[in-house]
Amino acid sequence: MSSYEPDEEEFLYDGQHLTVLRGQHPGNFYCAHAFFLAQRFASQPDSSILKDEQGYPMTGFVHTPRGEEHKHEQLVAQIEWVLTRVLRGLLFRALRMTKDPIRIAVTGFGPFEDQQGDAVPHNVTGEFVSAPSRLRGALFGALPDLNAPKQPGLEVPEPLSPDDTVIAHQVYDPSYRLGRPVLLMGRVLPVDTHALSDDPQVSLTGLLQAFRPHIWVGLGVRKRGMPEFVIEEVSDDSGLTLLPAPRHSGDHQPTTGHPLNRAAARAFAQGVLELGGYSHDA
């Protein structure tokens, strides 16, 4: 694995057809709430989430464009491209840090109406996460040099909910000279209070507690008219009330937050270095 540290510039990838930025302002809606709660889970002493060599928890949130209807398939392909490179960097690190089967959770969101009343009847992140072919493409594409045939007897976990998507894969680990299982569970979160609960069949926290992933990557759409991807690095409780139970409570200012987390940005930069740029930018 090559050694690479992204610089402090805003741009992580600046191509002709696709741009990825580092983000410092995730907002105060459910995308921001998900990143905050995942960070809170990662900070617990008994958390399953691994940390990279810089001490960053392997949790990340990617804001995607909403896209235009006539360019839907192009946007879906771009989401897969970005996620593949994030997973590339995180998986290589995880393989060195545990001998257990690697568990990855990827979440998106369902349809919603935002705080300005702008409806999103078809949320591309939920569609992506519920499509096994797309999740499989991102996972298989992340480690093309280490993919191995799936071995008989590979234990595949049952989905926690009928709507969850489970992908099982096998990679060759050169450190141990054997195949390593990689298990990915995808979930579409509702854009309401149920997403913030502890329900293992519906919520993010319930998924993290029950599946106990080493890696979590969340996906959610940006406001309309914002064409860039953003890998968020900051999480706080803007618009979120935590007690007695987490709930969205408007646009109040943050009262607490988590330390800067560049795990996903570092992983993405590594993935671009090793897997190459977006094909339409060639």
State residue 174's pLDDT score. Answer: 73
pTM (two decimals): 0.92
Place of tokens 């191995």: 148
23 vs 9, higher pLDDT: 23
- Percent over 70 (pLDDT), the chain: 91
Question: pLDDT category, 9, cuts 50, 70, 90?
Answer: low
Per-residue pLDDT for 175 more than 80? no
Does the pLDDT at position 280 exceed 80? no
Poorest-pLDDT segment among 142-156, 215-229, 236-250 = 142-156
Q: Is the pLDDT of residue 279 over 50?
A: yes
Closest to 65 measured CA to CA, from 76, 57, 50, 54? 76
Q: Report, in angstroms and rounded to the nearest whole number, the Rg of the chain calculated over CA atoms.
A: 18
Comparing 119 with 203, the larger pLDDT belongs to 203
Q: Is the pLDDT of residue 282 over 60?
A: no
**pLDDT band at residue 176, thresholds of 50, 70 and 90?**
low
User: pLDDT per residue over 57-109, tens digit each?
Assistant: 999 999 999 877 658 899 999 999 999 999 999 999 999 899 899 999 999 99
Can you tell me the distance from the alpha carbon of 207 to that of 160, in angstroms, rounded to the nearest whole number?
Answer: 8
Task: List, for residues 213-224, the tens digit of each pLDDT value.
Answer: 999 999 999 988
State the Cα–Cα distance between residues 260 and 22, nearest whole angstrom.
12
Does 1 score more than 50 pLDDT?
Answer: no
Q: Residue 196 and residue 21: Cα distance in Å, rounded?
A: 27
In DSSP terms, which residues pair with 170 in a beta bridge?
Answer: 181
- For residue range 110-132, list pLDDT tens digits in order: 998 876 777 888 899 999 999 99
Output the pLDDT for position 281: 64
Mean per-residue pLDDT over the chain, rounded: 89
* Cβ atoms 32, 238 nearer than 8 A: yes
